[in-house]
Each structure stands twice: as C-alpha cells, then as structure tokens.
Amino acid sequence: MPQSALSLSRVQAMLPEPLDRERLEALLYASKAELVAVDGDDLQVAVTPDRLDLLSEAGLGLYLGGVLGSRTGLLRIARRATHGPPPTVRVAATVQPLRPEIAAIVVHPPTDDGIDEGTLAEAIRFQEIIHASVGRDRRSASLGLYALGRIGFPLTYALEPMESVSFAPLDRNRTVSAVQFYDEHPMATRYGAFGRVGDACLVLRDSKGMIASLPPVLNARGPGEVVPGDRALLLESTGTSPRAVLESLQLLLLVFAARGWSVAPVRIEPSALGSASKSPIDSPREVELRASDIASISGEKITGPEVRRLARTCGMDLRTTAGGWRVLAPPWRIDLLGSVDVAEDILLARGLRTEDALLPASSTRGRRRAESQFRRRFAPILLGVGLVPLYTPVVVSRSAIERAERGAESVQLANPPSQEFAVLRPSIAVSLLESLRHNLRHPYPQRISEAGPVIRPDPKAESGTATRYHIGFALAGEGMGFADAAALVDYLFRTADVTGVREPVEIPATIPGRAARVRLAGDVVAELGEIHPRVLEAAGIPVPVAWGELDLSALWPLVRSPGTL
C-alpha cells in the first residue's frame, strides 16, 4: 500500500476537535486508509492505491472532517475573476513527438500572507507521490510549481537545441549549460530520457527569455522557485497521457483548494496541442450512481435520504435521476469512474461491522503440503544465524531490475500501475539489493534474507511464465566475499541432508570468477557470488556484498521422501 508521512498538527487544524490515536485509528479503519504510526507530530498513513488523495494533509483532513460532520457536501472551489485575457502558455509543435500534453492553472491564497511553509512542504511532498503513481515516475506526467510574480507571460513550451540552453538548476547556485546538466545532474540521469531527444531538450521559458524549468526534470532558480510568502502560484503538468496530466494537476490542486485558495484559468495555445487542457481542471467530477448497485453490493435496501446523507459525508452532492442519482464529486477523486465506485464509498461511510465466522462441517480441517512445510523450514534457520527476514513485493521497478542487471530474464507487465510496480522479479537478489539501497543509513554489517516467489519466462506454460519459490540472503559489510556466501549456502544444504556440486559460472551483477552455481543430481538448485562494484556503485552501497540464493522449487523434488504428498 502507498504510504506517506504527514503532519498530525496540520491534519488536526482542519478538524472541529482534536483526535487521539485510538479515535483516529478507528475512523481510518472505516476508510481506505490505515494508521501506520504516530510519533509526535509525524503521522504515517498507508492507503489503497485508488485513494491517493488521502496521502496529503488536505485530503485526509477533508475526509475526517466529513466523518465528523464539520465538512460535508461538495467543496466548492472559488474561481477568481480575471481582468483581461488569462495567462497563456504557447506550445510549439516541436514538443509533439516527445511530450505533447500540457495543462496549467493559477491558484490564489485566501489571505495576503501567501503560502506558508507547511503548505509548501505538503505540496512538494504530495507532488512526488503523484509523480511516482499517476505520473508513472514522471513518464506519463510530471508537475511544476512557480511563483506567478517571478515569471512573465506568455510562457513558451518548446523543444530547443541543448547548446543554446543554460540555466541555474533549483538545487544549485550556479548557471550550467543544458549539455552539462544532462551529463552530470542526478535528476537528469534519472528522468532526462523523458525530456530530451537527440541534441534538443524540452524548455519552459517565460516572456523575458528566462527558463522556468526543463520538464520533466527540474525547475530553475528564480522563475522556477517557490518560497514561503509567495502569493499567486502557477501549477502546470506536462506528459504523454492527457488523462495522467489532468489527474496529476487535479490531485495537486487538492492541497490548495482544501485551504480556501481560489483558482483562475490558464490558456494553452494553440488549442490543437495540449489536449489535456481542454478538460476543466477545477470542475466537479460527474458520475452516475444506480440504486440497484447499492442494493446488490450491500444486500439490503438503503433509503434515498440516507444515501444522500452518506454521500455528503464523503464530500459529494447528489441529484436525483431515474433509477438513481447524478453524483458531483471533487475533481481530485480520480478513483470515481463509475456507479460501483461511488456505491463502495457510500457503504464504507455507512460503516463496517464484524461478522461471526462459520466453520463448515467437514471431517478434514486441511493441512500444509509437505512441499510448503519444506519451504518454511529455511527462514527460521537464517534467522537463527543472525539474518533479518524481509518481505517485499514480487512486482518491482524497472530501475531495480536494471540495477540488478536482470532485464534479460524478467517479465514486464503490459500495463503497470506505476514505474515502481512494473516488472516481476526473476530473483530474490533484486529485492535484496533494493533493501540494501534503501537502508544506507543503518550501520554495517547488514545481514538480510527473504523467502518468497519469483517469476520467470516459461514458453511452455499457458501464461508464458513460471512461479518458483526461492530463499536468498545478502551479507553487506567490510570483508564480505564469496567464501562467506559459499559457507552459508553449504550450511543450508546440510540442514536438508544433501551436498551439492559447486561449479564456477558468470552470473549477472556478480564479479567474474567469484560466482558459482550449485547442482544436485544435475539440476541447478542454487546461485551465489560477490556483487560487482559497478552494481554497488549504482545502488549507492558503500561496502562489499555477498549473495546466495536457493531454488526451493528445484530442490524439493530431489530431497523429498518417496510417497510424500
């Protein structure tokens, strides 16, 4: 489940009464959010992937306000009257092959104080969550924030020769050329391929010729900078998908609209480009709700007045139609695609209750298969020798696969929900390296292990893939090497009362000459080796890493007793 660290005090400020942990946990239980931890003002929340709005203080505050009765019905976003033509973004035809979609909106604060430090921090944090989810790691959509007072309109969005572009990146104090930026900056290394083609890169430039940003990589100092106290802000989104661009902008708008900011339109010229801008960014989302869907899902009849009350608790307004209602929901409720989605929200607002479990009459209660019991015996053994057990998803990011150099043997999802969940791991090594990469601040040595499924291509299978069960370990620390991995692999084989034959072989991501496979009765049942320095450098891991992995699906048929089920 996606998670975010929020400010508890900022959420509480939107509520009619303070909530203690027990009360907060109970209210979130009836939603699609879950309380992970509370530590002082730090509030850790996890949500289902369809309720990204709850990963912001504004979204969570609106939801809790609705449950407590202080913020019911559709939030009306104030539209600011404009004098003269609206701000304009001119889109050059050169962006069409690379990143043609663009949309923008201006937000104005409710007071002259401008944006406060907390709201700015929330917007930036939520922006990165949107990038990783709806934006598919900025591939489909990316966002930018700009202080209106620092840019001159019209803005121009175009593909320009890199040799003619220079700017001061937002996190640097000096001006660099676009060529140098794309060669050296870590943000360009990660996202540069989405914003350049050949010797040209995407540029958002204001009327004074100043560069505001290089979409989708990084904003510039000055025109692309927002600091506390800034008043009117420009929110823009560029990308390849009209829907992703629009929904990204609508989610970011939540941070400001929930606190009373008003909005003003931005014109995109020519209208033939940037088709995402044709949809109203701040308009309510309209969805049909059928009474039959509520009855079929709940199994009971719910009266019209109660449906209307529950809808208002969820931040929606209803208009009666034949056979149901027309629902008006906030623009950032991008999860509401049809009648069933709204019905689910309403039934969650009505409340969940526990039901007594029924044990079916049966002479057998079932038991784990012998193979499952065999798999489960190895994790406690590794725990007993001091390895920390992990549990990570089978679906990993493309970047994780590339770092582990396992692309040739991996299975990619045809329609991944995000860049972070795009490839099925072919080896536990992928997840172990990612875990080490995310724990660089912990002291060394680090000794970790994981048991779980891996997915590999199999042309003979109906699905084209085969699921196998592996157990792997990683030993990270000064002096760790092949001998450490070999000793631990041998120990695991001895616990199964077998001895394998080790043979040297080259394995992806390992040092040549310091890797091996283990065979038993001719079948490969394990791999081990020292991770190559280039892989460690790409992951930022500062110490040597020894790795080993057993294929339990291959090992089981070779060690089971005759007649074992």
Helices vs. strands in the chain: H and E counts, helices first:
17, 29
Dmax (CA) for the chain in angstroms is 86
Looking at the fold, whether 324 and 194 belong to one and the same domain comes out as: no
pLDDT score at 561 = 61
Res 565 pLDDT > 60: no
Lookup: tokens for 295: 């009855």
Residue 360 lies inside a defined structural domain of this protein? no
Q: Residue 320 is part of a domain; what is its CATH number?
A: 3.30.56.10
CA angle, residues 551, 502, 506, in degrees to nearest 5: 80
Per the structure, how many domains does the chain have? 4
Residue 564 lies inside a defined structural domain of this protein? no
Looking at the fold, whether 393 and 534 belong to one and the same domain comes out as: yes
The residue among 500, 511, 493, 504 whose CA lies nearest residue 547 is 511
Q: What is the pLDDT of residues 238-249, one digit of tens each?
A: 999 999 999 999
Q: What is d(CA 313, CA 331) in angstroms, rounded to the nearest whole number?
A: 16
Q: What is d(CA 385, CA 552) in angstroms, rounded to the nearest whole number?
A: 19
Name the pLDDT band for 488 (thresholds 50, 70, 90): very high
Looking at the fold, whether 258 and 299 belong to one and the same domain comes out as: no
Q: Residue 210 is part of a domain; what is its CATH number?
A: 3.50.40.10
Looking at the fold, whether 527 and 464 belong to one and the same domain comes out as: yes
Looking at the fold, whether 253 and 302 belong to one and the same domain comes out as: no
Q: Could you list the residue range(s) of the whole structural domain that residue 306 is in?
A: 285-350
Looking at the fold, whether 31 and 104 belong to one and the same domain comes out as: no
Count of beta carbons in the 10 Å neighbourhood of residue 276: 25
Looking at the fold, whether 289 and 267 belong to one and the same domain comes out as: no
Looking at the fold, whether 293 and 271 belong to one and the same domain comes out as: no
Residue 519 lies inside a defined structural domain of this protein? yes
Boundary (domain end) residue, out of 221, 247, 278:
278
Lookup: tokens for 354: 């526990």
β-bridge mates for residue 162, sequence order: none
pLDDT score at 408 = 87
Q: What is d(CA 179, CA 166) in angstroms, rounded to the nearest whole number?
A: 8
Residue 356 lies inside a defined structural domain of this protein? no
Looking at the fold, whether 45 and 141 belong to one and the same domain comes out as: no
Residue 74 lies inside a defined structural domain of this protein? no
* Angle separating helix axes 117-132 and 57-68, nearest 10 degrees: 100
pLDDT score at 99 = 95
Q: How much is the average pLDDT of 422-439? A: 94
Q: What is the pLDDT of residues 320-336, one digit of tens each?
A: 999 999 999 999 999 99
Q: What are the E-state strand segments in 101-165?
A: 101-108, 141-147, 155-161
* Angle separating helix axes 304-313 and 339-350, nearest 10 degrees: 90
Q: What is the pLDDT of residues 63-117, one digit of tens each?
A: 999 999 999 999 999 998 877 889 999 999 999 999 999 999 999 999 999 999 9
Looking at the fold, whether 263 and 129 belong to one and the same domain comes out as: yes
Name the pLDDT band for 447 (thresholds 50, 70, 90): very high
Looking at the fold, whether 378 and 447 belong to one and the same domain comes out as: yes
421 sits in which H/E element: none
Looking at the fold, whether 102 and 181 belong to one and the same domain comes out as: yes
Q: What is d(CA 531, CA 482) in angstroms, rounded to the nearest whole number?
A: 9
CA distances from 413 to 393, 458, 470, 537 (A): 14, 15, 21, 27
CA angle, residues 365, 367, 371, in degrees to nearest 5: 165
